[in-house]
Amino acid sequence: MTINQIVCDFRIWTTLAIIAGIYFLRPRSPPFPLLNTFPNDFRGRKARSALHQHAGKIISDGLARLNSPFCVKVPYGVKIILPHTLAGWVKANKDLDHKELVKKDFFAGFPGFEAQTVLHSADEALKTVIRSKMCQNASTIATMSLSIARGLDSLWGNADSWHTIDWYKDTTGVIARGSSSVFVGPEKCDDPEWLDLVQNYWFLPNPTTCRKLVTRARIIMNQVTAQRQEEALKAKLEGRECSQFNDALSWTQAAGVKGEAGDIQLSLAMAGLFTTSEAFRQILVEIATHPDIVPALRKEVTEQVTTHGATISALTNMVLLDSVMKEAQILSSPKVALERIALNDTTLPDGNIIPRGSHIMVESMNLWDPAVYPKPYEFDGYRFLRRREAGDTSSQFVQSSADYHVFGGGRHICPGRFFANNILKLALSHILLKYDIRLQDGCGADVLPMGFYTMVNPMRQHSSSFHIFLHETSTFLNIIHNTTSPTQNKNTMSSCTACGKSPPEVSLKKCAKCNVTPYCSRDCQKDDWKAHKKLCGKGPPPLDTHVSNPFTRLGDGTWLHDRPEKDVFTLLIDAYRLRVDDEYKFDGIASPDSLYSGGDPVIGFQRFLDSVEHKTGLLPSWWTAETREECLNIGKSGDAYANVHQKVDKAGINQHYGDDKFAMQLRMFAEAVYGRGPGGTNGTAMREMLAAAEVGEGPRHMSLLDASRLR
């Protein structure tokens, strides 16, 4: 053959391409010992079967035999399993990324999988909305409660005799109703077509069906969006206040989240329905299997709803229910956590290399270690309540710790865990007060092994064995409707000052000037203005003295110096309150003496002042035991704003002080006190840059990685 014939012969090029493909795509040798291997298992069937049925045993045997990283064969490759002693290293390592792993495993970027594309976009705008609006929004609790009540009436019924429910459909349906009331709003939260669509989509039947569901979701959401825009325009033309929507559809549009509204809604459904529904089923089975704990749970729910109504405070103070939820969560926890992909070749602490592109996970077998949790395979609904009462600050359902990573950890901790906590407690509270539940004789808390994971068996037992009976006691809604909650009146915008209407009938907003008095519309505010203007603006005033170069002062430790006593007291109170909110939001930590755990925040504020006093030079020279006591008294019984009994967040702080960087100042002061920023961040580089700008040095080069979670 001539050279031209060789060059033009497609057979030669095809052969070379096949050889190159085989070479470059050949399976790499595992970097660590591979455990689940079998002779002559060329297709990997035995390896997959062993992992599917006995993942826990494979991991335990590997730890006992090697006590070092090892590999397991999974259907689509090999995963590296690290011992849980390396969990802290994994969480802190920026070369190990969870988002990129999920994007790859769940086909982000492919048609039909747009929900994953939106959720894991580079700007993380949707996750920011989840953290800031969905999880910390107390005004959605009443809306979710009403939606769950309607869902139970529709799906579980009101028959006064023992009857069964469709185990899988009617449990997922309750969670779908509650979450949709916040995700999509009033137009579609009870719509059967929409509820079926979101429940079917996250099950991922096949790509073709997924693409059809995405198309339909886009059509439905575009119709809702167009209808809202039309109503807003009509209201504007008629000179009246347009309706305000307190849901994710509205929040994501206001935040400028990129993507189709239908894609965003499917993304929320995928993130919120499957894991929350699984947790819901596991908790129900444990409660039905252990009926002796039901009276105590009913007593707690009744007391909290009677006292606080349908509020965050009521849910936070359901500490026994929280303990039961976490106990059920552990019993069905995955055998692994902290799944990551290596973005670069990464060196382990022992010197071994994790190759770039490797999938890693950290084993969680310590959850079943009797030295960590006595009798780990036996349900003990009081286990985490006892630990909380003993001072364990990581015993709450939403919290992660050095040994507990069900919700992930570090910068990749689940942003929706607080929302899941709220919806689970609401649903369980309704069920505890309205129904008796039981399993058929001989049926237990059966779980189905799914490799590293487990799920409540949807077929073998519970479809026909989960019985419910209408309970005789008052329902959750009856208790709320027959009770006036003093806590709710004090700490939340319970009703419009002018007309008396309350959520969910209307949406309330505070007066922009005083940031205290609630109204449902501009008309109501106008009607009340004659009376309100005498008080408006007489709420918490700004600081009496504004110091120059605050970030420079933060750097040299004189931020509180040269200020009046009143200003110092106010700043200490607000630095503590924001730190408590940050720890709850970013770390999942609520200390026993925190508002978020139902404790006495005054004790927490005292400990904060102790820490400030131990840092030489942070407090002004006039600080004494007497001024400390005065500061404590103001924190305990101060005005409607500077009070440790009131929660704050970043947006509220910045609005109150009229400075979009004031929350940053408070965070940096607290970092000087504790030695670390919220979520393990380090604000030094940001502080130095802002300090340089204050004295005219111009911007400096810095890395924003450490500040990335403080949006």
Q: Beta partners for 72? A: 79
H-only helix segments in 259-373? 261-289, 294-308, 312-316, 319-331
DSSP β-ladder status, 359-363 and 77-82: parallel
In this structure, of 62-71, 107-116, 250-259, 421-430, the range with the lowest mean pLDDT score is 107-116
Domain residue extents for the chain: 3-82, 116-481, 493-532, 550-707
CA 241 to chain centre: 33
Residue 42 has what DSSP assignment? T
146: part of which helix (H) or strand (E)?
helix 141-155
Those residues with Cβ within 8 angstroms of residue 434's Cβ, 6 or more apart along the chain or in another chain: 152, 470, 471, 475, 476
Those residues with Cβ within 8 angstroms of residue 710's Cβ, 6 or more apart along the chain or in another chain: 586, 650, 664, 667, 677, 678, 679, 681
**pLDDT tens string 355-381:** 999 999 999 998 888 988 899 889 999
Q: Beta partners for 78? A: 73
Quick one: pLDDT band at residue 491, thresholds 50, 70, 90?
A: very low
**pLDDT tens string 272-281:** 788 899 899 9
Averaged over 556-575, what is the pLDDT?
Answer: 91
Output the pLDDT for position 480: 64
Averaged over 108-128, what is the pLDDT?
Answer: 76
Instruction: Using alpha carbons, list the distances in angstroms from residue 533 to 139, 499, 516, 530, 536.
Output: 26, 17, 12, 6, 5
CA 672 to chain centre: 27
| Residue 70 and residue 43 in contact, taking contact as beta carbons nearer than 8 Å | no
Check whether 640 has a pLDDT greater than 70: no
- What is the overall mean pLDDT for the chain? 81
**Per-residue b/e over 476-489, b at no fewer than 16 CB within 10 Å?**
bbebbeeeebebbe
Annotated binding site: 414
**3-state secondary structure labels for all residues of 666-698:** HHHHHHHHHCCCHHHCCCHHHHHHHHHHHCCCC
Q: Which two tokens stand for residue 214?
A: 């995405």
In this structure, of 129-133, 601-605, 669-673, the range with the lowest mean pLDDT score is 129-133
**pLDDT tens string 276-333:** 998 999 999 999 989 999 999 999 999 999 888 888 888 989 999 999 999 999 888 8
Check whether 129 has a pLDDT greater than 70: yes
Place of tokens 């400075």: 659
Distance, in Å, from the CA atom of 608 to the CA atom of 576, rounded to the nearest integer, reads 7
Check whether 702 has a pLDDT greater than 50: no
As its CATH architecture, domain 116-481 has: Orthogonal Bundle (1.10)
CA atoms lying within 13 Å on the CB side of residue 354: 28
Instruction: Using alpha carbons, list the distances in angstroms from residue 245 to 96, 241, 507, 575.
Output: 39, 12, 7, 32
- DSSP helix/strand/coil, 187: coil
Sign of the C-alpha dihedral, residues 174, 178, 181, 183?
Answer: negative
Treating both helix axes as pointing N-terminal to C-terminal, what angle do 417-434 and 141-155 enclose, rounded to 10 degrees?
A: 50
**Per-residue b/e over 417-431, b at no fewer than 16 CB within 10 Å?**
bbbbbbbbbbbbbbb
Place of tokens 């009703």: 495
In this structure, of 109-123, 567-581, 620-634, 658-672, the range with the lowest mean pLDDT score is 109-123
Distance, in Å, from the CA atom of 266 to the CA atom of 115, rounded to the nearest integer, reads 6
Distance, in Å, from the CA atom of 618 to the CA atom of 568, rounded to the nearest integer, reads 11
Percent of the chain scoring above 70 in pLDDT: 81
Quick one: pLDDT band at residue 479, thresholds 50, 70, 90?
A: low
List the one residue out of 75, 27, 161 whose CA is nearest residue 435. Answer: 161
Check whether 236 has a pLDDT greater than 50: yes
H-only helix segments in 238-258? 248-255
Instruction: Using alpha carbons, list the distances in angstroms from residue 5 to 1, 20, 81, 512.
Output: 6, 21, 52, 81
Annotated binding site for heme: 414
Quick one: pLDDT band at residue 28, thresholds 50, 70, 90?
A: low
Check whether 703 has a pLDDT greater than 50: no
Sign of the C-alpha dihedral, residues 194, 200, 201, 205?
Answer: negative
Residue 34 has what DSSP assignment? B
Q: Between residues 165 and 478, which one has the greater pLDDT?
A: 165
| Residue 139 and residue 244 in contact, taking contact as beta carbons nearer than 8 Å | no
Q: Between residues 307 and 115, which one has the greater pLDDT?
A: 307
Output the pLDDT for position 576: 95
**363-372, 630-639, 664-673, 687-696: which is most confident:** 664-673
